[in-house]
Structure 1
Amino acid sequence: MIRRAALCFLPLAAFLAASPATAQVMDPGFAGLAGDRSAARVGDALTVLIMEASSASQSARSGSQKDTRLGGSASGGDFDESGALRLEGRYDGRGEASRSGRLMGQITVTVHEVLNNGDMVVVGEQTIAIDGERNRIRLQGRVRRADVSANNTVLSSRLADVEIAYAGHGALSRSASPGFLNRALAWLGLS
């Protein structure tokens, strides 16, 4: 009797093992009936929350001072002369540089490649045009599946080998950059 019951379930087990529904349950990107499917395959979308801040500063100071004095006098009878020569040099140099940047936003990227260890290489680009000014955000990096949240988002700080580029083109960007004459004078060291 037990043997007959086992033979009845054998075809059912083979059917379940080969069915597409079972393959979905075994898929790491499958989240069940009530959840969203997170990115796991090439072509899947994933939202990256960009919250980057950086700052750097550097300062240097050097000073130099030199003082040379030469003096002499001569006298004799009605002759009394004296003279002095003084050379003095001084140098005081100071340099300081500081830079800070902050970029916040979000961009939806596409899984470009899935690596052997399960990490995903993601790539995406977004262009925003406002009043003739075009701003472009481009992102490329590697993300672990474990870092993708339940709502299919990941923080930019959790991406490895990340490259984020933000560039603006338009009248506003052109007016913020120095003109040709200023750049030429700076190149010659005259400004």
Structure 2
Amino acid sequence: MHGPAVSGWLLVALCAATGAYCLLRMRSSVEEQRRSAGGEALMGFGMAAMAVPAAVLTPPPWAWPAYAVVFGATGLHSLWASHGDTRHLHHPLGAAAMVYMAVAMPLSPGPGHAHGSAGLPLLTGLLLLYFTAYVLVTGVRLVPVTAVAGRPPPGAVRAPGWGDRPELARACRLSMGIATVVMLLTM
């Protein structure tokens, strides 16, 4: 990834921590949590690997096509698993963005270089718009709703385990969305 080493390492830490938590979510008792957690863990660790500052570690030439293949397969799997449910199209779109970055990052000249006369490529701009909107909407959804004092929420039987809490899963998706925006901005 192009950019300052400190921000690159912070991005690596954020993505790796998100990937680790998603691995732990795979032990959830909630089937939907388990289903999405594996793909999200792969995305988190893959993003962490792609975010390692180029000044510290220059990936071998075969790494970028390997990233594209892994993220492409992940995207196809999550598209197939969504069964046409449009609520779950964020996962294949995130994987497609990672494929795009895996192809475009080695071709990107880095900071301080002109990106040509065309300016910001159209696909990068569209992905930036989508992921920025996703981050804002997901962030708003994390704002807690106040409950009536003394009453449990409707349908609450027991407190969910730490791996079953939907707000933690949403926070993981939020952090990966933020990381995607940062990575797109550095291209």
- Normalising to structure 2: TM-score of the pair? 0.17
Answer with 1 or 2: which has the greater Rg.
1
Relative contact order: is structure 1 or structure 2 higher (C-alpha 8 Å, sep ≥ 6)? 2
Give the helix-richer structure, 1 or 2: 2
